[in-house]
Structure 1
Amino acid sequence: MERSIVGFHRDEFGDWVAELECGHGQHVRHDPPWQSRPWTVTAEGRASRLGYRVKCLKCVRQEPPAEWARRDA
């Protein structure tokens, strides 16, 4: 199931997490050579991905939304 990115926050280790419209989060690390996502390191880069759709495996598994999503509701 594809979901849109609606925001970003950092996890407890300082890594960026994309906040999805469904209430789940998905890490978007820039960790070359394994993961190349240079857009994550700037505010402008992250803003350019708002609305971008990604596959949410947590929705496929029917997991409840993340704590951060319930807290903000």
Structure 2
Amino acid sequence: MQRAIIGFHRDEENHWVAELECGHNQHVRHDPPWTVREWVTTEEGRRSRLGAELNCKRCDEGE
């Protein structure tokens, strides 16, 4: 299910986590070459993704 990003925080390992409108969280790592999300490395980049949608696997699973 697609859910909007409403904020970001760092986890205990200092990785960026997107906060979704449904109340779930999802890691948004920049981990090339497998995951390229350079936008997550800057505050401006993260701010530009507020309101963007990510697929929430937890909502898909009915949580």
Instruction: Flag the structure with higher strand content.
Output: 2
Q: Distance in 2 between matches of 1:57 and 1:41?
A: 23
Q: Distance in 2 between matches of 1:13 and 1:6?
A: 21
Shift of 1:62: 1.7
Q: Please identify the structure whose Cα radius of gyration is greater.
A: 1
TM, length-normalised to structure 1 = 0.84
Name the residue aligned to 1:71.
none
Q: Distance in 1 between matches of 2:39 and 2:31?
A: 12
TM, length-normalised to structure 2 = 0.97
Structure 2 residue runs without a partner (length 5+): none
Structure 1 residue runs without a partner (length 5+): 64-73
